[in-house]
């Protein structure tokens, strides 16, 4: 890791930069927390295929249940069976339509969430590419070392002593 203040090479366990005194704790924490969060993602086409397969599966089960309900209702009407059989057929038809509808709505929900996640991932990639470009630009440069915090004070004390005691040398 490089210090954001001066560009000096620092380790992740350092709290402050040894060159400029910059507080490295937040930067280290950010780098360590960000290191394990990237999970492998499916490509867009693979994700779309999985969503479509799931939708078709739900719709097929819904159509099967709907067909069973229709058969039960028709058999109940043909053989003049009890109203209870017709009610069961109607419930099966409603259940089948519900399953098929759930399959479509779930695919829409997953597809919409996937597109939002894709937009966020694209934004993250553009930020990463910007950071990579900046890093590449700075790699060849050698940061100018900053003077010590106490160096200017030492110079002022030396100048003050020289004015007070012109005969003495430091």
As a whole number of angstroms, the distance between CA 89 and CA 77 comes to 10
State the DSSP code for 24.
-
As a whole number of angstroms, the distance between CA 63 and CA 25 comes to 59
3-class SS of residue 3: coil
* Per-residue pLDDT tens over the stretch 140-160: 666 666 667 677 777 777 777
Q: What is the pLDDT of residue 59?
A: 93
pTM confidence score: 0.43
Of the chain, the percentage scoring pLDDT greater than 90 comes to 17
Q: Is the pLDDT of residue 60 over 90?
A: yes
Nearest to 5 by CA among 127, 16, 141, 136: 16
Mean pLDDT check: name the lowest of 7-16, 41-50, 97-106. Answer: 41-50
The arithmetic mean of pLDDT across residues 83-107, rounded, is: 90
The arithmetic mean of pLDDT across residues 37-53, rounded, is: 71
Show the tokens assigned to 30. 């950010």
């Amino acid at each position: 890791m490089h210090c954001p203040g001066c560009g000096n090479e620092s380790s992740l366990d350092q709290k402050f930069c040894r060159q400029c005194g910059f507080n490295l704790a937040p930067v280290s924490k950010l780098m360590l927390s960000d290191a394990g969060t990237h999970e492998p993602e499916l490509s867009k086409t693979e994700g779309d295929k999985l969503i479509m397969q799931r939708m078709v599966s739900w719709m097929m089960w819904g159509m099967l249940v709907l067909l069973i309900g229709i058969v039960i209702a028709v058999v109940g009407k043909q053989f003049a069976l009890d109203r209870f059989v017709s009610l069961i057929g109607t419930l099966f038809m409603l259940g089948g339509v519900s399953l098929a509808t759930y399959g479509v709505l779930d695919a829409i929900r997953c597809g919409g969430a996937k597109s939002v996640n894709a937009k966020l991932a694209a934004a993250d990639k553009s930020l990463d590419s910007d950071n990579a470009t900046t890093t590449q630009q700075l790699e060849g440069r050698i940061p100018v070392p900053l003077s010590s915090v106490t160096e200017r004070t030492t110079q002022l004390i030396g100048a003050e002593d020289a004015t007070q005691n012109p005969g003495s040398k430091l």
